[in-house]
Structure 1
């Protein structure tokens, strides 16, 4: 069957890399696979089955002529990814997710520590000391988080060549699809757990404020820690799912998709630091830890809205 896959890839190598071509290729692959299995069940040998399948489905010129499709300019064939390279990328992606998730959790822990120390020492009449200790602790944790982010990025640097496209052997693709199916329940459970933690975390603020208004900052600290754990789950398990998605995607990358990801990254790089600055400013200047936690979910909603608006407008331009 792998011989048929290679033959089909060579047939489509000179054709435009469009969604229409990819759909046509998948339809032909499904038909060839079905015919191949039918011939094998009929008792034919491997070579006989492959020869018949190729003879029946191998005339791409007539099909493209009917569709009015002309071959594109010849280009270099995409490299074939080996099994070792695929699993090394998956392992690096998993490790990167772990370090990135821990870094985010440390950042949240640093802010939580700052709030808790400031409130604790304020109750004992030494607010300056609490702020100093909290700031030192926060910067230590943030510095460690930055180191984790750098380490995480360096793990994936050697796989940048995958962005140029690649092919997978048929057997390896089947193995990865099977692994993705087995991983799906774990990924689903991680998402459900993370969402539940995000939904329940604000309750800690209300519970602390209900006991005593002075305890509200401690509730904010607990909220940040719980939200940090939720984000860790999203990043770590999302990276594993992302590795499967990347390895199993079609052997071309749409320019529109890459541009959307770039714009989303730029928006996130601006909006989230602003949200964090607003959170700290309203907390330390106005002491509104009981309500300013809402800045983060509101920012998340705005971020998603901006990305969706850009995607809709961009697709509208492409279609017109």
Structure 2
């Protein structure tokens, strides 16, 4: 339901806050949620249902016209100033796909390098080829991972803490819905290959007594499985990042000032300060308390601190 609520919030960004518009927004949310549950009951997936709900409701202008409400004029403080455009979003998704491929390929090459290492015990020729294969595959794999990660981080920084234009927000839902089937297939096949790697290894090592071949097959099959899991997950997350609220957050643990203000309102500076100093102070207190009373049970401090932090965060968010 959070996705639908966030989408509705984005539609009403420029609508004056009055009792009529608040009631209209609440009524629309209730209608959209009811329709969502109807689609789920018909057998639609979560993302299919969300995409259908959003697509069946018109633009904010059409909604306001039907409700006989007025939209505020845009000014320099309108949240879509400096908004992430659809072209930028498409470029980001392309970079995300490339990063997903390079990272997944790098992991696969590292797995294959371990597979190549298994042959060094056969003969001098195999030992040379195994070491050469390990060195080349590992070096290329690490190169792909580092290169792809750096490009991806740079692209995310360009969009960080910027509002998402409405067409971006809507397109992201459709892309997420369209990719959902590919994601499920890739995830299922990847998990299947990772599981298959174990009996394959057992077959070669225990039945035909080829231990080296069994271990090599384990790394190769598992590597392909991990490739599929990582690739499909990262591509899907690229679409999902554009649906997780009204602002793009490049680092989930460190949202920018705009995203913080959107979530916490006037309490945002307090939350920012809390995130900077809270856990270091908790750690210092943990060391002090452990030295004073012993280390056996002092770990409970982190549990209590985590619960307290969550309660404070949620309370301030609700107050906004």
Task: Output the TM-score relative to the length of structure 2.
Answer: 0.58
**Counterpart for residue 180 of structure 1:** 176
1:162 aligns with 2:159: yes
Structure with the larger helix share: 1
1:143 CA drift (Å): 1.0
Which of 230, 234, 239 matches 2:234?
Answer: 239
**Residues 174, 201 of structure 1: CA spacing in aligned structure 2 closer, same or farther, 3 A cutoff?**
same
Q: 1:257 deviation in Å?
A: 4.4
| Contact 1:5–1:29 (8 Å) recurs in 2 | no
1:119 pairs, out of 118, 121, 138, with 121
1:98 is matched with: 101
Alignment of 1:255-274 (within 5 A): 257-258=252-253
Structure 1 position 103, deviation (Å)? 0.7
Q: Aligned to 1:119, what secondary structure does the other structure show?
A: coil
CA distance in 1, matches of 2:163, 2:151: 20
The equivalent position to 1:109 in structure 2, one of 109, 112, 116, is 112
Q: Give aligned pairs, total.
A: 224
- Structure 2 distance, partners of 1:147, 1:204, is 30
CA deviation after TM superposition for structure 1 residue 234, in Å: 1.1
Q: TM-score, normalization: structure 1?
A: 0.58
Task: Let me know the Cα RMSD of the aligned residues.
Answer: 4.1
5+ residue gaps in structure 1?
14-23, 35-40, 59-73, 261-308
Q: Which runs of 5+ in 2 are unaligned?
A: 1-7, 33-56, 256-299, 312-320
1:61 is matched with none
Match among 194, 199, 207 for residue 195 of structure 2 = 199
Distance 1:229 1:255, change over 3 A: closer
Determine if the alignment matches structure 1 residue 152 to structure 2 residue 155.
no
Q: How does 1:19-58 map to 2 (within 5 A)?
A: 28=26, 30-31=28-29, 46=62, 49=65, 52-54=68-70
Q: Given the superposition, is the C-alpha separation of residues 187 and 160 from structure 1 closer, same or farther in structure 2, using an over 3 Å criterion? A: same
1:230 aligns to what?
225
